[in-house]
Amino acid sequence: MARLEKFSDIWARACERKGGPAVVKSMLPDTLDIDEISQYTDAQLLSVMSKRVFQSGFVWRVVDNKWPAYEKAFFGFEPMKVLMLSPDQIQQRATDPELIRHQKKTQAIVDNAYMIQHINQEHGSFAEFIAHWPSDDITGLWQVLKKRGTRLGGNTGPYFLRAIGKDTFLLSQDVQAYLTGHNVVDAGFTSQTALRQTQAAFNHWQQESGMSLAQISRTISLGVGDNRV
């Protein structure tokens, strides 16, 4: 792995491309603290998680427009109520024209309700489990979501975390292009080696800059390629 570029240089490049520090700062995402994330209910988390699952590979606007119907069909995403659905009821929802016809993504709502319940049993609170996970091992949390949940691999799990305010970087196309082009990683991004190398780089930049992982990730994306954030 090559020597890391200074974050000050990454920042300067983004400012040059986007019109100055004030503009870049206005484009940086906010994150929530531990206490704020801990306040989420299981239903809120399952709703956001399920929405991100459906948005993967779909036009996000279509999913947004249909989400009120999902909230009604899945009882406000209360996990215990979702888990009471029979196979026939799940199938009906997977073929409902008011919703999105996708069997596997519909089943993922139920599977992820099980995951939330199991983590609650183990740790007392799914929200607190997420809230207290250390940012310097955020890829470890990605792996938990991928292994224990359904359809939460790739960027879906990280997008879910970003949506609820948990500090995480994203491996967008531009961030991947930067990491590859600067030899920060020397393996495929689905590998444990690449995730360790990426986490180490972001930890270094966070210590250097004092910025959140999410802000560092956004700054990188604003300085390269097509600015896919």
pLDDT at site 109: 98
| pLDDT mean across residues, the chain | 96
Range 35-163 has CATH code 1.10.620.20:
no
- Burial grade of 119 (CB within 10 A; 0-12, 13-18, 19 or more): buried
Q: What is the rounded CA–CA span in Å between residue 218 and residue 175?
A: 8
pLDDT at site 2: 65
Q: What average pLDDT does range 179-205 have in this prediction?
A: 95
Please give the model's pTM, rounded to 2 decimal places.
Answer: 0.94
Where exactly does CATH 1.10.340.30 map onto the chain? 35-163
Amino acid at 55: Q
Amino acid at 133: W
Among 31, 45, 19, 3, residue whose Cα is nearest residue 170: 31
Q: What average pLDDT does range 91-117 have in this prediction?
A: 97
Backbone angles phi, psi at 30, to 5 degrees: -95, 155
What pLDDT digit, counting tens, does each position of 110-153 carry? 999 999 999 999 999 999 999 999 999 999 999 999 999 999 99
pLDDT at site 226: 66
Q: What is the rounded CA–CA span in Å between residue 135 and residue 213?
A: 8
Among 80, 54, 76, residue whose Cα is nearest residue 152: 54
- In contact, 129 and 123? CB cutoff 8 Å: yes
